[in-house]
């Protein structure tokens, strides 16, 4: 289970941001870059990387983005409400859309190639009612 943003704040006082590539290899690449760059951060037992808001811009632009660039030369990050994440994951898997999951500040995000247009996807509505035959 992914911890919520409020749970993260309670556990890591002074570290207002949390990030993790759910792919262990990608997360290790990020950790290696942070260590080489001598960027102040902490790593939880679960592999989540915690850092302060002061380092947010440099970590996101100079460390997270280059790892994303290694995965997809042209990419986008799909964010959605927490209760939609599983639907998106199922849709992308079913349609063979390549993606990697990311954890950011209590939310699951999806890294995918820029050529896909999530706004045009015909997602099944879980609240859709079936027609009754009479």
* Residue 73 covered by a domain: yes
* Residue 130 covered by a domain: no
* Residue 23 covered by a domain: yes
Query: What is the CB neighbour count within 10 angstroms for residue 59?
Result: 23
| Residue corresponding to tokens 């599983």 | 86
* Residue 131 covered by a domain: no
Per-residue pLDDT of the chain in tens (134 residues, 90 and over written 9): 444 444 444 444 457 899 999 999 999 999 999 999 999 999 999 999 999 999 999 999 999 999 999 999 999 999 998 889 999 999 999 999 999 999 999 999 999 999 999 989 987 654 443 444 44
Q: Which helix (H) or strand (E) holds 123?
A: none
* Residue 129 covered by a domain: no
Cβ 12 vs Cβ 42: under 8 Å: yes
* Residue 134 covered by a domain: no
Q: How many Å apart are CA 106 and CA 19, to the nearest integer?
A: 9
Q: Domain range holding 20?
A: 5-120
pLDDT at 81: 87
* Residue 126 covered by a domain: no
Q: How many Å apart are CA 28 and CA 45, to the nearest integer?
A: 13
Structural domains counted in the chain: 1
pTM higher than the cut 0.85: no
pLDDT at 123: 78
pLDDT at 6: 47
Q: How many Å apart are CA 9 and CA 105, to the nearest integer?
A: 9
* Residue 14 covered by a domain: yes
């Amino acid at each position: 289970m992914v911890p919520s943003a409020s749970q993260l704040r309670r556990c890591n006082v002074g570290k207002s941001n949390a990030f993790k590539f759910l792919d262990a290899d990608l997360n290790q690449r990020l950790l290696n870059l942070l260590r080489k760059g001598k960027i102040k951060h902490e790593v939880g037992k679960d592999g989540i990387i915690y850092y302060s808001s002061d380092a947010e811009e440099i970590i996101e632009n100079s460390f997270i983005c280059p790892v994303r660039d290694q995965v997809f030369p042209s990419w986008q990050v799909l964010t959605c409400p927490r209760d939609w994440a599983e639907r998106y994951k199922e849709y992308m898997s079913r349609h063979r859309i390549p993606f990697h999951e990311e954890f950011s500040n209590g939310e699951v995000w999806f890294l995918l190639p820029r050529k896909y247009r999530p706004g045009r996807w015909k997602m099944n509505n879980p609240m859709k009612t079936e027609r009754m035959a009479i």
